[in-house]
Amino acid sequence: MTSFGAIEDSQEAAKRNLWLHFTRMSAYERSDVPVIVRGSGAYVFDQHGKRYLDGLSSLFVSQVGHGRQEIAEAMARQAAELAYFPLWSYAHPKAIELAARLAELAPGHLNRVFFTTSGSEAVESAWKLAKQYFKLIGQPERYKVISREIAYHGTTFGALSATGITSLREPFEPLTPGAVHVMNTNRYRMPAGMTEADMAESIAEKIEFEGPDTVAAVILEPVQNAGGCFTPPDGYFDRVREICDENDILLISDEVICAWGRLGEWFGCQRYDYLPDLITTAKGLTSSYAPMGAVIATDRVAEPFLHGANSFTHGFTFGGHPVASAVALANLDALENEGILENVRANESYFADKLDSLHDLPIVGDVRGVGYFHAIELVKDKQTKESFDDDEAELLLRGFLSGELYRRGLICRADDRGDPVIQLSPPLIAGPEQFDEMESILRSVLTEAGERMQVHGN
């Protein structure tokens, strides 16, 4: 049996046997793989005992923070009582209780919950659900899904097809037919001659272009993560809802990140006051003490599936796993009993102000976001908004920022799926102390980054 008492042994095995996701393995040829061994609250600790502020909630997942005994105990109790039973023809108490609780928290008539184990599976399921829904109601030609450029919706084929990031799509083409893309709500880089109102209209135009009778769904995040927290302009979702209604198209709110308090509400759609037909979610539903995702559908969408020989011919062995369901319930208890959504609402402007204070640095072009979900866009020239070219972005993000922020004790993400941004999304239990710490690390690292990249002036 292999055991890893020594750090060197575990480093060797990490490099030899472990396949890291979305990671250039070559990056660790001459340096250690960062190995995180423990978490507590808003902090995690590496193999050497060094502490890091978890400024990304690990991967936008850790709403209630790390190391919670009561969630670990809820998992252990459930594993001892009933570790597993499927939701294929059967039910179990924790999935029933959780579905009822999600229906109660969700707005409007979003009352029917289909569990998955991840966000990609939730998006995949929602698209399949939309397609089958239209077949059941006699509109079989509707199969397309409209999403936005640079949006990330996951990695399974359907979800990847909805994803609007060319570099992620290219290696796997041809993708699922029927995914089409429209402009996102990047208001910092509004195309010349366009207005904010055009952003929603681009969806209407795409529907017209594709043929309204061929489109099944529009899938949008309340705030788009990839590209760096693109918030919607005023009236955007009102108009999107209207466009979907006019064309009998389902609106899917992809809340894999934006639910569970991330924007200060249970669901992101509540922050922007719109009612989707389907919500996809995952991540913070369990604060990721166990993997779980879900699609929440309105009664109207579920209705055709409830009669005669009809069924949603789709499922996952581990969808609604009892242990994950018990975790989700314990997580929701913590969010509710400890007033964690209220904590986000009380402190979000302090967080935003702290990040805004970095505007005096020449490299900081834009700071945007809402709730505990923000991004800082880095630029070469603040006046002209000139961005870094590919080589410069590579040098800035991978050659310096990612490593340096980590070395200084801040976990966040330096990302260039759009223009270069730093993404910040701390656990929802964080407060002023963590935001001060974050600002101070960012200030010194971004100052040095600006000097290295020879960004001058304001």
Ligand X SMILES: Cc1ncc(COP(=O)(O)O)c(C=O)c1O
Cβ pair 71, 331 in contact under 8 A? yes
Of 153 and 354, which has the nearer Cβ to ligand X? 153
Residue 224 · residue 188 · CB < 8 Å: no
Per-residue burial over 98-121, b = 16 or more CB atoms within 10 Å of its CB, e = otherwise: bbebbeebbbeebbbbbbbbbbbb
By beta-carbon proximity to ligand X, the closer residue of 120 and 286 is: 120
In the complex, minimum distance from the CB of residue 183 to ligand X, in angstroms, rounded to a whole number: 17
Q: Rounded to the nearest 10 degrees, what angle do helices 432-452 and 340-356 cross at?
A: 30
Structure-block tokens of residue 103: 């229906």
Give the C-alpha distances (Å, rounded to integers) separating 112 from 92, 99, 129, 391.
16, 7, 12, 48
Which of 120, 387 has the CB closer to ligand X? 120
Q: How far is the CB of 416 from ligand X (least distance, A)?
A: 16
Q: End-to-end distance of the chain based on CA atoms, in angstroms? A: 59
Select 151 or 329, whichever has its Cβ closest to ligand X.
151
Distance of alpha carbon 310 from the chain centroid? 32
Dist CA 289 CA 449 (whole Å): 35
> Shortest gap between Cβ of 187 and ligand X (angstroms)?
19
Nearer to ligand X, 324 or 364 (CB): 324
Residues 6+ apart with CB under 8 A from 78: 94, 322, 323, 325, 326
Partner residues linked to 148 by β-bridges:
182
Which of 235, 241, 179 has its CA nearest to residue 210?
A: 179
Cα 110-111-113 angle, rounded to 5 deg: 100
Residue 10 vs 425, nearer CB to ligand X = 425
Residue 215: CB minimum distance to ligand X, A? 20
- Across 176-193, b (16+ Cβ under 10 Å) vs e yields bebbbbbbbbbeeeeeee
For the record, the structure tokens of 442 come out as 């960012």
Alpha helices in 149-280 (DSSP H): 157-162, 166-169, 197-210, 236-246, 268-271
Query: 106 — alpha (psi -120 to 50), left (phi > 0) or beta?
Result: beta
What's the closest the beta carbon of residue 225 comes to ligand X, in angstroms? 5
**Smallest distance from ligand X to CB 161, Å:** 13
- Please state, in angstroms and rounded to a whole number, the distance separating the CA atoms of residues 41 and 457: 39
E runs forming strands in 358-427: 364-370, 373-378, 410-411, 413-415, 421-424
Residue 151: CB minimum distance to ligand X, A? 7
Q: Give least dist CB 331 to ligand X, A.
A: 16
Please identify, using beta-carbon distances, which residue of 183 and 292 lies nearer to ligand X.
292
Q: Smallest gap, in angstroms, from Cβ of residue 23 to ligand X?
A: 14
CB atoms within 10 A of CB 387: 18
Please, which residue, 152 or 266, has the CB nearer to ligand X? 152
By C-beta, is 57 or 343 nearer to ligand X?
57
Single-letter amino acid, residue 453: M
Residue ranges that bind ligand X, judged by CB under 6 A = 118-120, 123, 152-154, 221, 225, 254, 256-257, 282
Tokens (6 digits) for 458: 């304001």
Residue 217 or 364 with smaller CB distance to ligand X: 217
Nearer to ligand X, 230 or 388 (CB): 230
At its nearest, how many Å lie between ligand X and the CB of residue 385?
26
Q: Which residue is nearest to ligand X (CB)?
A: 119
The angle formed by the CA atoms of residues 308, 309 and 311, to the nearest 5 degrees, is 105
Q: Smallest gap, in angstroms, from Cβ of residue 256 to ligand X?
A: 4
Closer by beta carbon to ligand X, 221 or else 265: 221
CB of 154 to ligand X, least distance (A): 3
